[in-house]
Structure 1
Amino acid sequence: MGTPLGDFIRAKRDSTQPESLGLPDHGRRRSPGLRRLDLAARAGISVEYLTRMEQGRDRNPSVAVVNALADALSLDPSERTHLRYLAKISGGVCSAHLQPAPSRREVRPSVLATLRLLEPGIALVTNRLGDILAHTEAFRMVTSGTGMLDGDAPNLTRYVFTDPRARTFFADWDDVADEQAFDVWLGPSVENSEWFTAELAPAAGPDFTRRLNRHVVPRRGAIRLNHTTGTELHLLRETLELQQDAQQLVVYLPADEKTAEAVDHLLHGPRGLLRAIS
């Protein structure tokens, strides 16, 4: 059985062209991308050791080996962070003693107070598994009619993969789907990730599982929303990590004047109070 670490290394090797690293093209190959021999040589490890890592037979590489692989693959900072994270969890990701448990849903009073100060801004508190834990009234108004906040325990990841309305609401649905699948790996613990994956996978189907196992590190640029009024909103995202809670405060800002005017129009009516979801 493979590991997330091995899957990621193999995926990056397959997607890396030799010429991008200044290596000669050896012509037709059985698989795309960089050969194991070339990657092992660049990282200063044996082909046998690299093969064991990719196949999940070696789950505990040293920090030096992980850094050497990151250098050999020319990973960017986000990809390096993900590689280190996968190296950390791969040793125990399949351990039988792990007991799946739901992610924390409580939001600290001081964080809720911060959200109130952000009104009438568009903001929410979420975790890496996509649970929408609290939000401003402006966020509710922007997402009204999309189905995102339906139910007692709304979850962005579940919405993206299981609600057909999400494909219309998110103009770049494919990119958003990659982001949500990737963030499952960044959940507060392996247990939480397994718990959520077990719940979501049957409903979301193979597309979610495929994206989860691709380990594509998202770029997280501006987001485009097709509002139910027919207006397209271009929003920038600022994410503040709430480390002690394994949660994030996400603030959406208009990316252009047209969006700023549209948002101002949407929020022109009476503004309600913050709605916290527990």
Structure 2
Amino acid sequence: MDNLAAVSAFLRSRRDKIAPEQAGLPAYGQRRVPGLRRGEVATLAGVSVEYYTRLERGNLRGVSDSVLDALAQALRLDDTERMYLYDLARAAGPAPGAGARQREVRPTVRPSVTRIVEGMPELPAYVMNNRLDTLAANPLGRALYSEMYADPSCGANVARFAFFNPAARRFYADWERMARFAVGALRIEAGKSPYDRELSNLIGELSTRSDAFRVMWGSHDVHVFRQSTKRLDHPLVGVLELDQETMSLPDESGLSVVVYSAPPGTAAEDGLKLLANWSATTGPEQDADSTSEPSNRRP
């Protein structure tokens, strides 16, 4: 990822979102463009207009933490956006040598993590990296995402599934929200790992093949997967309203364990039991239109 361009576009996009009134500044007359002017951001951050202009051109090399904090406050950044700004500033430092990049290793799922995921047979669970690849899943996790695993073009990647497979727009009841979160998560990772070739290739592929991804990527919004409630319309058992928890592993691997659950006594709990039974007797390898699918699909 081009760090200068990413910094410049991110700062401009945040500046454009803030009305003068939100920043406690007077607004005189009609403005030709939305948001704050550079001089107003500079005043709020306590730096000169010339210095802020340099920052907005993408040059964050050597910028102190105090200036970054002032800039984050002036632009009203949330915690995720602030973290992204700091990642961009770190990436603005000297690039690692070619040898260092070649020594980068792909994180692997430790056997102990696999045992944890496999030890939750009644809950869909999988291990995901920061590129949104699912590296391991228990049987119910594979059954829940059976359409993704059945599509070789997805490569078991949640972002590819969301933007390339038409079934995803039905599977995710709020597809727009989920897609924006996926894009925002990839942008966060691009800020952390600007020299990750696989990540760059993935973003390039998504940008080339999906107009929707291109538009969302251009918004420069950032997101982190945490707890959320998702409505998933599974082709076999119907709509499931599930709680999703994303737990980062306490190491430098960048891996997370994602687990879905349903409140006791709900239709979603019944749906998961039905899906688990199908997974145990048939398996997600079968096509979703298989004659062995449950006959009591929930609406």
TM-score w.r.t. structure 1 length?
Answer: 0.84
TM-score by length of 2: 0.79
Q: How many residues align?
A: 271
Shift of 1:92: 5.6
Tell me the residue number matched to 2:269: 260
In 2 relative to 1, CA 228–269 (structure 1 residues): closer, same or farther, beyond 3 Å? closer
Q: Could you list the per-position Cα deviations for residues 64-93 of structure 1 after superposition, in whole angstroms to 9, with x for gaps in the alignment?
A: 111001111222222221221122224467
Contact 1:5 1:90 in 2 (8 A): no
Question: Quick one: distance in 2 between partners of 1:182 and 1:103?
Answer: 24
My pick for the range that moved more, 246-255 or 123-132, is 246-255
Deviation string, structure 1 residues 199-229 (Cα, Å, up to 9, x no partner): 443233x432332342213375322211113
1:234 to 232, 237, 241: 241
Question: For residues 66-105 of structure 1, what are the structure 2 equivalents within 5 Å?
Answer: 66-91=68-93, 104=106
Q: Would you say 1:198 and 2:172 are equivalent positions?
A: no
Shifted more, 108-117 versus 53-62: the winner is 53-62
Q: Among residues 150, 156, 159, which one is paired with 1:157 in the alignment?
A: 159
Partner of 1:207: 212
Q: Which has the larger radius of gyration?
A: 2
| Cα 1:136/1:80, change in 2 over 3 Å | same
Q: Kindly report which structure 2 residues correspond to 1:152-191, keeping only aligned pairs within 5 A, or say none.
A: 153-187=155-189, 189-191=193-195
- Is the partner of 2:209 in helix, strand or coil? helix
Contact 2:125 2:258 in 1 (8 A): yes
The change in CA–CA distance for 1:167 and 1:36 in structure 2 (over 3 A counts) is: same
2:34 is the alignment partner of 1:26: no
TM-aligned CA deviation for residue 270 of structure 1: 6.1
RMSD: 3.0
Q: Find the partner of 1:9 among 5, 8, 11.
A: 11
Moved more, 239-248 or 257-266: 257-266
CA shift, 1:149, in A, is: 4.5
The 2-side partners of 1:230 and 1:120 are apart by 15
Of stretches 97-106 and 14-23 in structure 1, the one that deviates more from structure 2 is: 97-106
Partners of 1:270 and 1:231 in 2: how far apart?
15
For residues 92 and 206 of structure 2, what CA distance do their matches in structure 1 show?
A: 21
Measured in 2, the distance between the counterparts of 1:147 and 1:255 equals 25
CA contact (8 A) 1:101 1:191 kept: no
Comparing 57-66 with 128-137, greater Cα deviation is found at: 57-66
Identical-pair percentage: 32
Secondary structure, in 3 states, of the residue corresponding to 1:236? strand
Any unmatched runs of 5+ in structure 1? none
Higher relative contact order (CA 8 A, sep 6+): 1
